[in-house]
Amino acid sequence: MKPSTLFALSVIPFSSLAPRHRMHLLLVSLLLSLVLMPGAAARAQATNGTINGTLTDQSGGVVANAPVTVTNLGTTDTRVVQTNASGFYEEPNLAPGNYRISVQRTGYKQLTREPVVLQVDSTLEVNLTLEVGSDAEKVVVTGSTPLIQAESVSLGAVIDQRETNEIPLNGRNPMALVALAPSVVPQGQSEQNPNGANPFGWGNYQIGGGFANQSVTYLDGAPVNTEYINLTSLIPTQDSLQEFKVETNNLTPDYGRLAGGAVQFRTKSGTNQLHGSVWEYIRNKVLDANTYYGNNAGLPKPAFTQNQYGFNVGGPVLIPHLYDGRGKTFFFVNWEGFGLRQGVTYTTIVPTAAERTGDLSDLNTAIFDPLSTCGVAGGPACTPAQSQYDRTAFANGVIPASRLNATSLAYLNTFFPQPNIAGAAPGNTNYTTTGSSGGNNYETVVHIDENLSEKQHISARYSYWENNNLPTVAFNGICEDRCGELFNTNSFVLADDYAFSSKTILDLRVSYLRFVYTRAAFLSTFNVTSIGQPAALQSQIQFPGPPTMSISGFDPQNIFNSQGADSTINNHTDDDRVSGSLTHFIGNHTLRVGGEFLRATFNYAQTNNSAGGYTFNNSFTASNPLTGTGGLGLASFLLGYASGGSATSVIPIAAQQLYPAVFVNDDWKASSKLTVHVGVRWEDTQPFTERHDRQSYFDPTAPNSVLQAAGLPALPGEVGLVASSTRSSRFPFDNPLLQFSPRVGLAFEAAPHTVFSAGYGIFWLPNDVAYLPYSDPVIASTTNMVTSINGGLTPANTIDNPFPQGLVAPVGRSANFQQTLLGEGLTEAFNKNPFAYTQQFNAGVQQQIGNSFVLDIAWGGAKGTHLPFSGLNMDTLPDQDLALGSALVNQVANPFYGIINPVYGLGAPTIPAGQLLLPFPQYGGVSSGAADLASSTYNSLQLQAQQHFGNGASINAAYTWSKLLSDTDTITTWLESSVPGVQDPRNLKAEKSLSANDAAQRFVLSYVYDLPFGHGRRFLAAAPRAVDYTLGGWGFGGVTTLMSGFPLGLGTNQNLTNSFGGGSRPNYVPGCAKLTTGPATARLNNWFNTACFTQPAAFTFGDEPRLDPQLRGPGIADWDASAYKNFPITKDGRATVQFRAEAFNLFNRVQFGYPGLTQGTSNFGVISSQLNNPRLFQFSLRVNY
């Protein structure tokens, strides 16, 4: 087959083909890559690099048509390239490593330069000068490698092998190294060992102004992100990596499906010499510090035992008497195990013994009887002294025993322990405990490289990762975030590159990723009848477990509200991918065209509240439901009146997503000083299809056929099915095929060792990044508890029988799906949902000073358009109708009575008048699951300085001064502490504020440094062996991080807006000083001035911005450090034993958690948690050979 034919197959637009032809083409491409094996030096997507430059003579004249030989010093792999008429040479697709560049030309002395250190995904400009003379004479140049990227227009950082392997990392998670680059901000649960973390925390980094979990991660050129909110499914082990690069702005057209940056990990490869290591890292509580709150409570240090152990070996494949693979076949194997058992300290508020009997007098808040609401139909008449809807107070703040709900009491006695902090003030932290956590993970990596010829190289890597998270049990089986989880990941990549000539190079890659993720309740045999709920409800619960009941003011650490106790997940994904590119040199142009095709399957089921999830606030026990004065969430709970509740049943889905993309790029060496980059990418981020077409969409303009059939007016808004008479497409979203992404930039060498660069690019996100088919209402049925049928004036169902009509089963594609969904609260796909994209732009200057120091200063910016909200209510009251006031909650005859299932609140004989003013009154709410209607702007000043020493030692500093504005935030909101929801969906402009992820200033200093004493060092190089054993071989490393805190977003305990689906924020008292002063420990009970914020009046929205520009949570000041000593085993020093001691949070600085952010609760403005670990010590012993 001709190369042109092969390339045509690699870039053909897959979206124009029928599905069966797409699969045929995928299989053909796979076979071609396996059979033809046309490769040069392996270029897994952007992990390899390029060496280029200009060859001149001593007079400055260019030397054309001269052979330039590039040799890998580790494998002896050799390439030869000719200089063109301009004297320019370029050798792409080189594996990272040390190289020798040599030139031999008649009439000139032979020139050799080594070592030239090529890093991952980098372009080195190495200009060469020939001296006139005999070609038998040799000139050897041993100067240092250029440190600036003379032709790059992207921003980012390369972390070399020593830093990648030796920087002290808590949990030895190499993803934490991403945070060493400017403009990278770690988010919740990211900088720790993956064991024990929520899986979405593994890649939870904000990069370059893109929101967290919207970047991509590659391992040896193979993506490891799955389709579920871009989850990073594989974390490589620290010792298996050669180095890695994080690009944060304006990437080349090779990249798509992102809004932030790209992380490129490169696995180690074997060389001609056998190398390996064996290690163990141990940690326990003996030398560790206690947590701040553990110390204050007099608790012993929590249990902590951690072991991390493994080995690796790499070299040539040698089979005695059969095969000698030196210079040809290489292998690398890495295995690592990890085990952790630890205690987790929790501090919270639990009801006292008196409060459990209904005596809430100690809380000094009047509580009122919701059954005494006056002026409501069926209720008592108002006295002359009462306003409409006033209630009668419970005498002395005591609820009569006869009114206490039996289920509430049973739940309290089952899951809420008694207080154990003596002398705690009422309503303040009065309980602390140590929960259990931990788990095990194991990872195997096998990497094979084969130089088939000077023109062809193949590389294959397989990784298997198994992770077992033990339940994080906080309260008698109530888990924080999730209970037990099991993960396993299989990742395989085959890379094959072929050099047709020195001017034409083809590379192909095939990869496979399988990710399996299961989660189950700790109390999986729990029966709700044990707390007094009906047996009929238990029989309908799909995944048994305890219900979660979150009481306002009594869940400051969000343990119950995290819904971890009954969260169930079954996830099996498979990603098959083929990609390739063809590089051709034409004069001073480097043309590259390529493409990729991804087939991703998504087999999934999840529910977090199969047994029910309920919230309790002060609304039903306030003095008046329209004022919110008085009342307690605990009082509402004891009476059994929830403010909200639901239970969900699901049908497992079998979904698939296809992704074709093609690109073209031209790197033009316009002159010896100027390089111009121009490229464009087209991609088709197709929405999911489902094997059985169990997907629906919402048409906001279509007349509702069920209501029409019942003789009602043609109200707009109807659910439809894909692949049906109303929508022929199998996609729930329209797919316009217009996702073009220009990428442009230039790099100009203004002076020797000074480069100016600038770039611009567009990047598209999948349009369903925030909408996944497992939550489609036809396969995920949520039955909401009818807490009130009159807009919250009086309660309806109680917690002892929350769903008297039973739970509604998922409807699937049944004929009556529209009838069944009528009255339900929907989260739907709106078929006209736009596609999300970001624009990235940068300009900067790199300056190399001397041979070992480089300074980089840049401006980096991004603008996000049509970004996703994590759900947006499209069915709220028009703002002008709020002026109707209490008329909105007056009961009127329900026109849908008898049509809508009585299990829903809209099935009652009467409904609030405001319901009929909604856009879609026939539903209990309509939210867009994706709602790509948001935007963001990001601007940053980025400074980066690097000082290099011998043997790979270095000091790196990165500083970012930035501002991120947005009206949305991360989709993975459950990982963060302050991500407020939308207050008024009718006025999204008012949502614009600082982002919850805005880190105004961030500074990171990282270093690995060998002390200059002992053999091979500057001092005591010839010292006796005993002296060298004592004073030689010492070094140290570390990471220092300083960062300002994130902005705070406030809410209210009670939503009095009566906006039928809007949120509520407090009002700010004009002129009030929001900030408090003093050290952090003195402000824990008043982190900010809570008197500055009040409950808005009924039927109004608060004026507090989404994120307050003055209020920020605690910042970060962290020092991690290590010291190590190498003991030589062999005389030549090739084999050593290393002892290492590492300290995390060396100075035991406390990073406090967020204060309570809900106005009207007892913990408003109060900090009661610690986010970081106290000081921890870790020791290791390692043998290197």
Residue 641 lies in a domain: yes
Pairwise CA distance, residues 262 & 215, whole Å: 6
Predicted local confidence at residue 767, as pLDDT: 63
Pairwise CA distance, residues 705 & 713, whole Å: 10
Predicted local confidence at residue 143, as pLDDT: 61
**846-851: long-range contacts, CB 8 A cutoff, minimum separation 24:** 846/148, 846/149, 846/754, 846/755, 846/757, 847/148, 847/753, 847/754, 848/146, 848/147, 848/148, 848/753, 848/754, 849/753, 851/143, 851/144
Q: Are residues 82 and 129 in the same domain?
A: yes
Predicted local confidence at residue 761, as pLDDT: 97
Residue 148 lies in a domain: no
Pairwise CA distance, residues 1000 & 990, whole Å: 22
**Is residue 622 a contact partner of residue 359, using CB atoms and an 8 Å limit?**
no
Number of Cβ atoms within 10 Å of the Cβ of 630: 18
Nearest 10 degrees: CA dihedral of 884, 889, 891, 894?
90
Q: Are residues 725 and 627 in the same domain?
A: no
Non-local CB neighbours of 16 within 8 Å, separated by 6+ positions? none
Name residue, tokens 């209990």.
924
Predicted local confidence at residue 46, as pLDDT: 56
Q: What are the percentages of helix, strand and coil residues in the chain, rounded to 5? A: 15, 40, 45
Peptide linkage before 115 cis (omega within 30 of 0): yes
Strands 138-141 and 548-551: unpaired
Residue 203 lies in a domain: no
**Is residue 987 a contact partner of residue 880, using CB atoms and an 8 Å limit?**
no
Q: Which domain holds residue 111?
A: 37-141
Number of Cβ atoms within 10 Å of the Cβ of 592: 20
Q: Are residues 613 and 704 in the same domain?
A: no
- Which of the listed residues 669, 691, 708 is the one where a domain comes to its end? 669
Residue 212 lies in a domain: no
On whether the pTM is more than 0.85, the answer is yes
Q: Are residues 533 and 656 in the same domain?
A: yes
Say which DSSP state 301 is in.
P
Structural domain count, the chain: 4
Residue 994 lies in a domain: yes
Number of Cβ atoms within 10 Å of the Cβ of 323: 11
DSSP H/E element including 838: strand 837-849
Q: Are residues 388 and 509 in the same domain?
A: yes
- In SS3 terms, 178-195 reads as HHHCCCEEECCCCCCCCC
- AA letter at 683: E
Low-confidence ranges of the chain (pLDDT < 50): 1-45
Closest CA to 73 of 105, 101, 103: 101
Given phi > 0 = left and psi -120 to 50 = alpha, else beta, which region is 396? left
Predicted local confidence at residue 144, as pLDDT: 66
CATH number at residue 107: 2.60.40.10
Q: Are residues 653 and 716 in the same domain?
A: no
Pairwise CA distance, residues 699 & 39, whole Å: 50
Predicted local confidence at residue 682, as pLDDT: 97
**20-29: long-range contacts, CB 8 A cutoff, minimum separation 24:** 22/597, 22/658, 22/660, 23/599, 25/597, 26/576, 26/578, 26/597, 26/599, 29/508, 29/510, 29/578, 29/580, 29/597
Residue 712 lies in a domain: yes
Q: Are residues 660 and 694 in the same domain?
A: no
DSSP H/E element including 696: strand 696-703
Using one digit for the tens of pLDDT, what is the confidence trace for 428-441?
889 988 888 899 99
Closest CA to 1066 of 957, 929, 1161: 1161
Number of Cβ atoms within 10 Å of the Cβ of 1040: 16
In 3-state terms, what secondary structure has residue 885?
helix
Closest CA to 833 of 796, 790, 867: 867
Rg (CA), the chain: 32
- Which of the listed residues 141, 163, 189 is the one where a domain comes to its end? 141
Output the six-digit token pair for 87.
Answer: 């004297």
Q: Are residues 662 and 726 in the same domain?
A: no
Could you tell me how far CA 791 lies from the centroid of its own chain? 38
Q: Are residues 639 and 689 in the same domain?
A: no
- Which of the listed residues 653, 669, 685 is the one where a domain comes to its end? 669
Q: Are residues 1106 and 1135 in the same domain?
A: yes
Residue 17 lies in a domain: no
Using one digit for the tens of pLDDT, what is the confidence trace for 912-961?
999 999 999 999 999 998 889 999 999 999 999 999 887 778 999 999 99
Residue 30 lies in a domain: no
Q: Are residues 888 and 990 in the same domain?
A: no
Q: Are residues 720 and 846 in the same domain?
A: yes
Pairwise CA distance, residues 68 & 77, whole Å: 14
Pairwise CA distance, residues 242 & 161, whole Å: 5
Pairwise CA distance, residues 66 & 367, whole Å: 91
